[in-house]
Structure 1
Amino acid sequence: MKYAASAALAALLCLWSSSLLAADLLVEAESFTDHGGWKLDTQFIGEMGSPYLLAHGLGKPVAEAKTEVTFPAKGRYRVFVRTKDWVARWNAEGQPGKFQLAIDGEPLEETFGTKSADWFWHDGGVVDIENETVTLSLKDLTGFDGRCDAIYFTNDTTATPPSGGSQLAKWRKDQLGIVEDIKTEGPYDLVVIGGGYSGMGAALSAARMGCKVALIQDRPVLGGNGSSEVRVWAMGLIRRGKYPRIGEIIDEFADKAKKSPGTYEEFGDDKKEALVRAEPNIDLFLNHHANDLEMKDGEIASVTAFDTRTSQVRKFEGSFFCDATGHGSIGALAGALYDQTDKGRMGMSNMWRWDEADQATTFPETPWALDLTMKDFPYPRDHHGQWFWESGFDKDPIGGAEAIRDWNLRAVYGAFNAMKNRDGASKHKNAELTWLAYVGGPRESRRLIGDVILTQEDIVAKREFPDGCVPSTWSIDLHYPKKEFADKFPENPFISIAVHDQRVDRAYGYPVPYRCFYSKNVPNLFMAGRCISVTHEALGTVRVMKTCGMMGEVVGKAVSICKLHDCSPREVYEEHWAEMDTLLQLPGQARRETVDAEIEMPKNVQPISPYGPPTGLDPNKMAGMVIDDRQAEKSGQWSEGTGLKGYVGHGYLYSGQKGATVRFPIKVKKAGNYEVRYAYLPHENRSAQVNVTLVIETSKESTIVNMKEQPPIEGGFVSLGTFTIKPGEDSYVEVVSSGNGNVHADAVQLIPMDGK
């Protein structure tokens, strides 16, 4: 009995002794001091629990990631690497994401990225640590998107780290020694979560109206889908409609890319960041992922985010919050009402580009990619894999986002393999894959519910809302799998087709109501971007970049009214809309230091038009007075055109219908002699004998114009003569179509001949 007690005591002492000597070291991959060629991927934190490093080398191994670490003690350690075989979920042949872990330059025998379809702790065996301070290196072996989340060393050779969920999150904190060292930021008037076009618009607009703003972005650059990482060019027309000043802020940073995807330089990441940092009322927090919040009395009291590089946690306190995440993530955390389309939902794009090298190039065989030949995908026109490289239709856009992105990668690699190693090889000897977005461009997920849910019928019928404000000019553009490319992979097609409802007013724009921009049930939550309160169909027109950015501009101005009157977003509409109306008419550069300070107007205010900035000759910069076709009175059937260049304003009118009439009203402020000119653009289908009539009170003068010939006056004008015109007279220029060829109507110009 004494022997048994002694043995038990010895075992207990041994266990106690080993626990005292237990030594662990957890190294998060994002904390590496030198990422080398590895990319920091933060897209899927909500799905897999952490940022991670991605070896995105387009088939060429990337430079090593390195960091120096200090062990708690020398000795023998078991090493684990949290990783996955990213194609294993499809039982694909091969392991494209292979990499090694090296200690002081010596790689471990185990190769990582070769096991498990799910994130797991890959056992790397036992290592002897002879120096307390060592250099760890991640050695990419393929260039095909190997991934490393974390590295764990333990001298308890029987230990296994937790696999996932809240248990893993707590364990991480314990291992890293993270206590509740939460830095509190604020309080702010507005906390914006999401640094795409909508978030930038909200932050800049609110700051210029005197609000103190925090802008939180989980990537290292601003712009979201409109950044160099994703390269979706900025679509949607701005500065038009009822409030043509809306969009002037967006115009300050919107890209001018000629194609999508364009070049890195065209998207101006540095320009966007500089514009935001120049605003004294904005605190910018790049590389911060918001993943929690606190509620108080039914409202959001604060949002918590952590630095994706250091894990430092920050709590952002504020009066109002704007969900510009695209996914409605903050709204969902706050219990906001939302909708999500189950069937027919749009997917995610990962665009790509290839170029021609000076000599022949090679590309590794990709047996793990989609099995494609040249007939299985659209030929990449202009060396671009464009927006229609899209998959994930009806897949989980949030919990399944990494799988959607990875399927897109497999599709692109399979396509380029066909170009280089299969039936496209003879044509593409010099082809080189130069860019592939590893950050996905999602189109649709959650839509938060506001006091108005905008529908397709509202837009097409031009239903008038008293708070209509943001002009939506994009057609109702919904994406579906393209059948001819869907048959081979029916479980997840990767090429889409856009189906357009063209009944949207693309010139003036349909004004989206303000009540779509705040939550119905969370009193201090705004939203801007593709998570606003619309139906799936209506999302098809409001989801493009510049339109989303203008939503942010409206939200920012509304926040200033909320702060000034201590009211809710709903009360801005119900009680203070007259004041909001005034703010929406301000130039984008107007500003005030605080919400109750006097507004300072910019020195140079751009002229405005309900149809936006001119796309042709600017009437405001032309001599004399110009009456554009937009100001003309029409009867009969007239079409708008922009195909013939050199027009005045936004386009021109043409008609071949007999009796169709257009009349340009003339109203002068001073009596005098004016040369009256008529603008048209020649074309072979125009009429050779067009009767252009000038009416001044009761007198008429007619001129026959041959519209097949080039106009004689620079700028596309023909002179109708010089006439004395007085204020208050009923004067106009009128053209009536004879039906014998098209009549062209662009503008009328009055040149004062009295030297004034």
Structure 2
Amino acid sequence: MRRMRVIFCLASLYGWHAAWLAVGATTALIEAESFSNKGGWVVDPQFVQQMGSPFLLAHGGGTPVADVSGTLTVPEPGTYRVWVRTRDWVPSHPDAPGAFKVRVNGQELAPVFGTVSGAWNWQDGGTVQVTGTTATIVLHDLTGFDGRCDAIAFIKGSDQPPPAGGPELAAWRAAVRGEPPDPPQTESYDCVVVGGGIAGCCASLAASRSGLRVALIHDRPFPGGNASQEIRVATRGEIRHPIVDEIDTFSLGNRDSRTVGADAARATVLQAETNLTVLMPWQAYAVGTNDRGRILHVDARHICTGERRRLAATVFIDCTGDGWLGYSAGAEFRMGREGASGFGESRAPAVADRMTMGNSLMWSTTNAGVPVPFPAVPISMAWATEVAGTRADTGGDWNWEYGMHLDTIQDAEEIRDHLLRAIYGNFYNAKQKATNANLVFDFLPYIAGKRESRRLLGDYIVTQSDVVNGVFFEDAVGTATWGIDLHAPTAISYLSTYTSTPVARWYFPFRSLYSRNIPNLMMAGRCISVSHVALGSCRVQNTTGQMGVAVGFAAALCRKYGIEPREIYRNPDRMLELQAHIGGAWPERPRPGGLVADNTDAACVTIHGAWTSSNYEPGFVGTNYLHDGNTGKGQKWVSFRPSLPKAGSYEVFLRWTSSQNRATNTPVTLITRSNAPPVQLVVNQQVNGGRWNSLGTFEFDPATAEVIVANSNTTGYVIADAVQFVDTSAVATNSDRDGDGLPDWWERWYFLSEISAEASTDTDGDGMNNYREYLTGTDPIDPRSRFDVHLMLDSLPGQAVLSWPSASNHVYRIEVSDDTAAFRLYRGGIPASPPQNTQTVSTTGEAQFFRVVAE
């Protein structure tokens, strides 16, 4: 039996609490989010991993919200000291905007809460007399500016506050609640999905519709993540799959109020699935793994009631965005920007750093028809205008972004609060103008929209080159068309800018959707295995929905065959089955040996006339393409003269970028041999852009091989981008894509790629190169795996029995020598009989040496 190890995000340290109780204290605790009547306060679940709990937020946009009320049960009557866990969210200003009062049994406590410390702390509320076993508690907001309350503790017999935070506070809370380490019930599923954004919803639907029993854990009351009514980001990117189309909101723009109806429709779709259990709002807070690193279960807690469940499964999918599930299970990850040299990315910084794209709060206002004061209660707004400056915006879109130089996970509350201060400051400035007297907030979120944080590492990390060049992936499971859209800060702290590199449609690989070190963990969304630069293209929500579809169907294959995600890639038949299940067209396998001449290659390209370089339209090779400016017709041409290695038959491909302003009659001339007439062709550059278009197969002489793109008699822009020559005699078969003698299935199994292994390389340093390892059936990445021939000692006189490890589809021969200087064939054509072959040979009584050779 394997040892089980439980990894808690919030540790349980009962020993600390036992020592604390030894002083004789009697304690009662009420979590603010569990109040029966929440009034106008909202539950904020975003920062549990940082500060320990969901909390109540008086998010009134400058108008005090209705009171919260609830009942606390105490162990016995008596005098209790009241402790309120809260914080002053703008500690740098004396006019604390998050101020509120607390009443106990109708008696208002003296302190003003939310005014003491910038860190979460237990603020002393003084003592109260409780005559029975219950106390009625009311929270009264004073400002409408995001006062916050996490919990209220009544303690009798001690004046010491509860622990301030961290594992000690978690242990104290658990002990006060009498909560054992393990949840009271365990539920078993085939697949557990954590995170209910577009990616998580699609993953859950794909898996459940494939017959799996699925649980979806989502920490908010509405499905959709960034697309939900709480954040309202428009869904962008290719839809491609019907499941994505079923739940996306492509027709809606940013900040659209119709997201409320879209959330309801999305929830209806999820709840209609009989195989799907939707836990919403629940939060996964702990992960159990075994000694192989496999996830055994996830523990989840209801955001408001605190009810707990343990969910066991064979496959888990992380759609949390921040990669919380993988991080808690020990998955390898990256966060921040790789340096340019890491993957050869031109969009990367020279030196790696921790910078990420930031978080956003988009907001809007509307005309109420009558003057409305802001703020509703007089309070100094210096704490807000300090951030806003003199700007007086009345709404903000995606570029209201902050936190790029902070940690978007650990500093998430600070980032959100900075954006709130910017919003309130701008709106306050705007309200000083008479023309804005009637304006009120129309949409004012408190849940931040995130773009980037942890990226869990898979067997493949997608990079800029993959995206820009549309690299072929044999395990393609979805498409992306969004440009490489990377954000950067501006001089205004809460506003960002962006730069985008256009790209043609590219396919992302399945190997980027499962963890390389947690065997049964897959991921979908912005936490997949990509570089910072590549994330700029695949982070939009419909693309992440495609990822969800892929991993949902992959989970079904894992159950069907009793395998883990990596084995789907390793087995070409399983990979094809996954692609068939997803449906749609997949890219053709590339032709090997192509020699590319790009427009920027001065050694083989000659430019005649004034051409302009551009990267405006996607789908080009290299860094740019050339266009003729739709001028100088008949005076411009580009000559591509690649250095062919030999004379022979080559298929020629031409590449361009398409647009409606392109020429439909671009002349292309091929010079093949010195004694052959030129080949004259015409191509339509308004279509088939961003791909290699075959011009045909021809016999070429290296001395004369040339392709000329001209603009004679054309109507529209002529594009000259790149030419490719493919030696038709070197076309690889479907079983050996790179033509190196190593079958694709073998490279996939051992090297997790069809093209990364070199046949002549000794990867494991055992004295046998990869090709010999393939022939002998040994493991090329394990130096202990060797091809050894053994002599069985119980052979009959005049005979010897040889044995050696064998692999399927191999043939062996036995050779013999008298002195090891020269070997001659003894027996050939011996078929493999895995896992071991045995052969009897005759001996002469003289010294003889036998060896086995894999053919």
Give the structure-1-normalised TM-score: 0.71
Q: Which residue matches 1:337?
A: 332
Q: CA deviation at 1:661?
A: 8.5
Output the CA distance in 2 between the equivalents of 1:20 and 1:258.
59
Go from structure 1 to structure 2 and tell me whether the alpha carbon gap of 1:741 and 1:407 turns closer, same or farther (over 3 Å shift): closer
Matched, 1:449 2:457: yes
Output the CA distance in 2 between the equivalents of 1:469 and 1:511.
7
Residues 435-493 of structure 1, C-alpha deviations (whole Å, 9 max, x = no match):
2110111111110110110001111111111112211111100010124x2xxxxxxx2
Find the partner of 1:482 among 477, 490, 505. Answer: 490
- Residue 56 of structure 1 aligns with an amino acid whose one-letter code is H
Is the 1:328–1:447 contact (alpha carbons within 8 Å) kept by the matching residues of 2?
yes
- Residue 75 of structure 2 aligns with an amino acid whose one-letter code is P
- Residue 246 of structure 2 aligns with an amino acid whose one-letter code is E
Is the 2:255–2:443 contact (alpha carbons within 8 Å) kept by the matching residues of 1?
no
Go from structure 1 to structure 2 and tell me whether the alpha carbon gap of 1:737 and 1:657 turns closer, same or farther (over 3 Å shift): farther
Output the CA distance in 2 between the equivalents of 1:536 and 1:373.
29
- Residue 336 of structure 1 aligns with an amino acid whose one-letter code is A
Matched, 1:31 2:9: no
Go from structure 1 to structure 2 and tell me whether the alpha carbon gap of 1:230 and 1:265 turns closer, same or farther (over 3 Å shift): closer
Matched, 1:348 2:374: no
Q: CA deviation at 1:118?
A: 0.4
Output the CA distance in 1 between the equivalents of 2:206 and 2:476.
18
1:216-231 aligned within 5 A? 216-231=217-232
Output the CA distance in 1 between the equivalents of 2:366 and 2:163.
45
Question: Highest relative contact order (Cα 8 Å, sep 6+), 1 or 2?
Answer: 1
Q: CA deviation at 1:261?
A: 1.3
- Residue 326 of structure 1 aligns with an amino acid whose one-letter code is G
1:423-462 aligned within 5 A? 425-462=433-470
Output the CA distance in 1 between the equivalents of 2:330 and 2:22.
44
Find the partner of 1:278 among 272, 296, 299. Answer: 272
Find the partner of 1:42 among 45, 48, 51. Answer: 45
* Unaligned runs of at least 5 residues, structure 1: 1-17, 240-246, 486-492, 589-607, 612-635, 640-651, 663-679, 681-735, 744-756
Q: CA deviation at 1:177?
A: 2.2
- Residue 316 of structure 1 aligns with an amino acid whose one-letter code is L
Q: Which residue matches 1:411?
A: 422
The structure that has the greater radius of gyration is 2
- Residue 154 of structure 1 aligns with an amino acid whose one-letter code is I
- Residue 269 of structure 1 aligns with an amino acid whose one-letter code is D
1:268-417 aligned within 5 A? 268-296=262-290, 297-341=292-336, 342-364=353-375, 365-371=380-386, 376=391, 379-380=393-394, 384-417=395-428
Is the 1:227–1:267 contact (alpha carbons within 8 Å) kept by the matching residues of 2?
no
Q: CA deviation at 1:54?
A: 0.5
Q: CA deviation at 1:160?
A: 2.0
Output the CA distance in 2 between the equivalents of 1:654 and 1:277.
45
Q: Which residue matches 1:77?
A: 80
Go from structure 1 to structure 2 and tell me whether the alpha carbon gap of 1:298 and 1:376 turns closer, same or farther (over 3 Å shift): same
Q: CA deviation at 1:298?
A: 2.1
Find the partner of 1:514 among 510, 517, 539. Answer: 510
Q: CA deviation at 1:638?
A: 12
Residues 608-630 of structure 1, C-alpha deviations (whole Å, 9 max, x = no match):
7899xxxxxxxxxxxxxxxxxxx
Go from structure 1 to structure 2 and tell me whether the alpha carbon gap of 1:75 and 1:372 turns closer, same or farther (over 3 Å shift): closer
Is the 1:322–1:525 contact (alpha carbons within 8 Å) kept by the matching residues of 2?
yes
- Residue 555 of structure 2 aligns with an amino acid whose one-letter code is V
Output the CA distance in 2 between the equivalents of 1:53 and 1:330.
25
Is the 1:638–1:653 contact (alpha carbons within 8 Å) kept by the matching residues of 2?
no
- Residue 113 of structure 2 aligns with an amino acid whose one-letter code is F
Go from structure 1 to structure 2 and tell me whether the alpha carbon gap of 1:276 and 1:387 turns closer, same or farther (over 3 Å shift): same
Is the 1:38–1:56 contact (alpha carbons within 8 Å) kept by the matching residues of 2?
yes
Go from structure 1 to structure 2 and tell me whether the alpha carbon gap of 1:638 and 1:452 turns closer, same or farther (over 3 Å shift): farther
- Residue 35 of structure 2 aligns with an amino acid whose one-letter code is F
Go from structure 1 to structure 2 and tell me whether the alpha carbon gap of 1:186 and 1:196 turns closer, same or farther (over 3 Å shift): same
Output the CA distance in 1 between the equivalents of 2:61 and 2:369.
19
Output the CA distance in 1 between the equivalents of 2:259 and 2:717.
43
Residues 258-289 of structure 1, C-alpha deviations (whole Å, 9 max, x = no match):
32111154562211111111111111111211
Please identify, of 268-277 and 452-461, the stretch whose mean Cα deviation from structure 2 is larger. 268-277
Residues 365-399 of structure 1, C-alpha deviations (whole Å, 9 max, x = no match):
5221142667547x45xxx4101000001211111
Output the CA distance in 2 between the equivalents of 1:269 and 1:94.
38
Q: CA deviation at 1:156?
A: 1.9
Output the CA distance in 1 between the equivalents of 2:324 and 2:215.
17
Find the partner of 2:481 among 473, 489, 508. Answer: 473
Q: Which residue matches 2:136?
A: 135
Q: Which residue matches 2:180?
A: 179
SS at match of 1:371: helix
Output the CA distance in 1 between the equivalents of 2:227 and 2:586.
26
- Residue 570 of structure 1 aligns with an amino acid whose one-letter code is R
- Residue 384 of structure 2 aligns with an amino acid whose one-letter code is A
Q: Which residue matches 1:554?
A: 550
Output the CA distance in 2 between the equivalents of 1:349 and 1:179.
38
Output the CA distance in 1 between the equivalents of 2:664 and 2:98.
69
SS at match of 1:54: strand
Matched, 1:54 2:54: no
Q: CA deviation at 1:21?
A: 7.9
Matched, 1:536 2:544: no
The root-mean-square deviation of aligned C-alpha atoms, in Å, is: 2.8
Q: Which residue matches 2:559?
A: 563
- Residue 289 of structure 1 aligns with an amino acid whose one-letter code is Q
Go from structure 1 to structure 2 and tell me whether the alpha carbon gap of 1:582 and 1:295 turns closer, same or farther (over 3 Å shift): closer
SS at match of 1:204: helix
Output the CA distance in 1 between the equivalents of 2:558 and 2:174.
39
Output the CA distance in 2 between the equivalents of 1:20 and 1:93.
37
Q: CA deviation at 1:192?
A: 0.6
Is the 1:344–1:480 contact (alpha carbons within 8 Å) kept by the matching residues of 2?
no
Give the structure-2-normalised TM-score: 0.63
Output the CA distance in 2 between the equivalents of 1:469 and 1:20.
61
Q: Which residue matches 1:501?
A: 501
Q: Which residue matches 1:654?
A: 660
* Unaligned runs of at least 5 residues, structure 2: 1-20, 337-352, 588-625, 630-657, 669-685, 687-710, 719-855
- Residue 95 of structure 2 aligns with an amino acid whose one-letter code is G
Output the CA distance in 2 between the equivalents of 1:319 and 1:85.
44
Is the 1:470–1:513 contact (alpha carbons within 8 Å) kept by the matching residues of 2?
yes
Output the CA distance in 1 between the equivalents of 2:207 and 2:22.
55
Go from structure 1 to structure 2 and tell me whether the alpha carbon gap of 1:124 and 1:510 turns closer, same or farther (over 3 Å shift): same
Q: CA deviation at 1:23?
A: 3.3
Go from structure 1 to structure 2 and tell me whether the alpha carbon gap of 1:539 and 1:20 turns closer, same or farther (over 3 Å shift): closer
Output the CA distance in 1 between the equivalents of 2:35 and 2:121.
20
